[in-house]
Amino acid sequence: MPSLLPSLLSRVLPHPRPMRKLDERLGFASAGRAALAKVFPDHWSFMLGEIALYSFVFLVLSGIYLALFFEPSTAMVVYHGRYAPMRGEEVSAAYASAVRLSWDVRGGLLVRQAHHWAAHLFIASIVLHLCRIYLTGAFRRPRELNWTIGLTMLVLAIFNAFAGYSLPDDLLSGTGLRIFNAIALSIPIVGSWLAFLAFDGEFPGQEIIQRLYIAHVLLVPALLAVLISVHLAILIRQKHTHFPGPGRRDANVVGSRAWPAYGLRSLSLLAAVFAALLLAGGLLQINPVWAWGDFDPATVTAPSVADWYILWIEGALRLFPPVEFQVFGFEIPNQFWCGVVLPGLIFGALYLWPWLDRRWNDDREPHHLTGRPRESPLRVGLASAMLAFMAVLLVAGSQELIVQWTGWTVGSVRDVLRVLVFVLPLIAGFAGRWVAESLRRSDLDHAVELGHREMVAGLRRRNRPQAQ
């Protein structure tokens, strides 16, 4: 060990005497030493979950600052601030406080924008982390519980982000609440009751902003904090998975020690995430609520779309044909299929996946060695199909941009997408499985190196992919 580092460390770490006094009261030193020596495997893809964790930390810290200024009330107030076109106008207190945060509170706009970018990064990194867990088979026994917890956190994160951008009570997000209300209404039998429960009556009511506020700043963050703690506790108890390699077995874990190597790397990622979010908050304008205007249920702006993590539902709503099916005498509105059934099916399949995977592979053994994605061409194919499906739905949600770029009509773009939403996942799924199979049979490291011979070999069908 370099002789330099202990001296550097001893200069940085707390002076021994106060820590000794703490140890006299708590007796943590032995357990602490074991904790500092815990081994974490080294791979960049294992850090994706940490991006999500640190985004959450940023969300909580920036959210506390915003909550000091935000007023979650729909009572009308008169705005008197720096934003001239709104001066003297009567708007809701929630909207006025959001505009005040942006124009009148110094540093408020930076925190507001960084907070919104952090929500994007939080959900995007959870999805990437989910893909890594899925493709490497890290959800297998004994980690099914952590997979379930992680999926639940994804659902909570998406809901909280939706609630968060609806809080400023602006025209764009208010229209999104209208669609949320319509989806609730579309549930058979109980739909109208559910919608009236959430909104205290007809849309928009006076209560929704306050209710979303409590959900957004209290209920969901508390739930997330508990779930994150359980998620990490399980991870620490079971120890992280690792890839096959020299000296690596199911019964051990090989990598860096928690302190100092891994810990410093992780702190660096924390600082890097904060840096990226603050740079984005400073350099890229996001959700300029003063420009959208305050929410007026008789008015609308265009394009009227949601953030990307909700936009896939909007895309499905746009592509769905104008039919209402009759089921048991009830006419089911078509928002039900796109807004309730589709997310239900997708998340339901994801929740059940560890058990489906176990049955498909007939593999009930515990696994701590994960495989490269190519080890399971089926999973690669399914992941490719799902991502292609989501991509088409996101494009459907971005039709305005496509139409403005290409000059085609909305109808023709819609028709093309209606075909693509079925065809592209099939093509992507089979292509993904083919590439993975070819890689698996070859000795190559990267897909770009695949040649004709490997690709032909990959076409040979197998009934079941090899278990680890």
Partner 1 sequence: MSTPRPLGQRFAVLLAAAAVVGLAGVLTLTAGSGRATPGAVPAEPTPSVTAESTPAPGGSGNTGRQVFLRDCAWCHGSDGSGTHNGPSLVGVGEAAADFYLRTGRMPLASPEADVKGGKPAYSSSTINALVKYVGSLGAGPAVPALTRGDPAAGRTLFLENCAACHSASGTGTIVTGGQQAPDLWATADQQVAEAIRLGPGPMPPFGSGQLSDEDVSNIVSYVHQLGSPQRIGGAGLDQYGPIIEGAAALFLLLPLVVLISRALGKRAPSRKEKE
Partner 2 sequence: MSAPAHAPRSVVLCFMLSALGAAGFAASYVIGLGNEALGVSIGAAFAFLALGLARWSSLISAAEPEYVEERSIGPTPQHEYDAFKQALIEQPVPRSWVLWGSLGTAVAAIGGAALFPLRSLLPAMGTDPDAVLSRTPWKAGLRLVNEEGLPIRPADLALGGVVTAFPEGLDPREHVDTTTLLIRVDPSILQLPAGRASWVVDGVVAYSKLCTHAGCPVGLYVDTADQLLCPCHHSVFDVATGANPIEGPAPHPLPQLPLGTDGDGYLVAEGDFSAPVGPSWGNH
Touching partner 1, residues 160-179 (CB under 8 A): 171-172
- Which of 407, 452, 459, 460 binds partner 1 (CB under 8 A)? It is 407
Amino acid at 416: V
- Minimum gap (Å) between residue 250 Cβ and partner 2: 8
Instruction: Tell me the residue ranges of DSSP E strands in 85-195.
Output: 90-92
Q: Which of 265, 358, 414, 441 binds partner 1 (CB under 8 A)?
A: 265
| SS3 assignment, position 77 | strand
288 binds partner 2 (CB under 8 A): no
Amino acid in position 367: H
Label the pairing between strands 325-327 and 90-92. Answer: unpaired
The binder of partner 1 chosen from 23, 38, 45, 182 (CB under 8 A): 45
Encoded one letter per residue, x for contact with partner 2 by CB under 8 A and - for no contact, window 21-60 reads ----------------xxx--x------------------
Angle, to 10 degrees, between the axis of helix 108-136 and the axis of helix 263-283? 130
Span from 122-130, 144-152, 154-162, 431-439 in contact with partner 1 (CB under 8 A): 122-130
Q: How many CB atoms lie within 10 A of CB 402?
A: 16
Q: Which does 292 bind (CB under 5 to 8 A by kind): partner 1, partner 2, none?
A: partner 1
419, 379 Cβ separation under 8 angstroms: no
Close Cβ partners of 56 (under 8 Å, ≥ 6 residues apart):
122, 224, 228
Q: Does 307 contact partner 1 by CB under 8 A?
A: yes
Binding mask 273-302 for partner 1 (x = CB under 8 A): x--x--xxxxxxxxxx-xxxx--x-xxxxx
Our CB check for partner 1 shows the closer of 314 and 357 to be 314
Residues 310-339 that bind partner 2 (CB under 8 A): 314, 317-324, 330-336
Judged by CB under 8 A, does residue 43 bind partner 1?
Answer: yes
Give 211's Cβ-side CA count (13 Å radius).
Answer: 11
Q: Distance (Å, rounded) from C-alpha 277 to C-alpha 54?
A: 11
Question: Interface residues for partner 2 in 188-247 (CB under 8 A)?
Answer: 188-193, 195-198, 200-204, 211, 237-239, 247
Query: What's the half-sphere exposure (Cβ side, CA atoms, 13 Å) at 290?
Result: 21
Segment 338 to 377, residues that bind partner 1, using CB under 8 A:
none
Partner interacting with residue 274 (select from partner 1, partner 2, none; CB below 5-8 Å by kind): partner 2
**3-class SS of residue 120:** helix
Comparing CA positions, the residue from 44, 49, 62 lying closest to residue 280 is 62
